[in-house]
Amino acid sequence: MTDPTAHHVGVTVADLDRAVDFYTETFDLDVVAEFSVGGDAFAEAVAVEGASAEFAHLDAGDAVVELVAYEPAGEGSADPELNRPGATHLGLSVDDVEAFYEDLANDVETLSPPRTTSSGTTICFVSDPEGNLIEVLDA
């Protein structure tokens, strides 16, 4: 067996264009690839009958954020709660969480203003337009 390395973090969205706009405008991530995938092998691999998908890969430094919109689309998940088993979030670091928070567009939803935890890390959580949670923390 080979040693695994991280390749990407996938975020499923209903509206790919809106998601790309959010991540490029809010986090200044660059789109590095856009592509479509379909066919029997893909549908079998993702266990969704007749599936196809549109993808956008965004450069987040040492990681790729993969935004994907499926056809057919599945049902949306319940409101995310971080303490729910199976909950997920994307973590992105910035140089200054307080400055990042102050510069957020008015329509970007947050869970709270930045807070410094007992470990000394300053964090805040924002929601993308689909309700996916992103933890923003000091670099």
Nearest-angstrom CA–CA distance, 38 and 71: 9
pLDDT at 75: 79
**What's the farthest any 2 CA atoms get from each other in the chain?**
49
Query: Which two three-digit tokens encode residue 108?
Result: 């970007």
Mean pLDDT by 10 residues, the chain (139 residues): 84 95 97 97 94 97 94 76 82 95 95 95 94 92
CA 127 to chain CA centroid, Å, is 9
Contact predicate 136/94, CB 8 Å: yes
Nearest-angstrom CA–CA distance, 93 and 9: 15
Predicted TM-score (pTM) of this structure: 0.91
> For the chain, what's the residue count?
139
pLDDT at 22: 97
Query: Which two three-digit tokens encode residue 73?
Result: 């689309």
Q: pLDDT tens digits, residue range 115-139?
A: 999 999 999 999 999 889 999 999 8
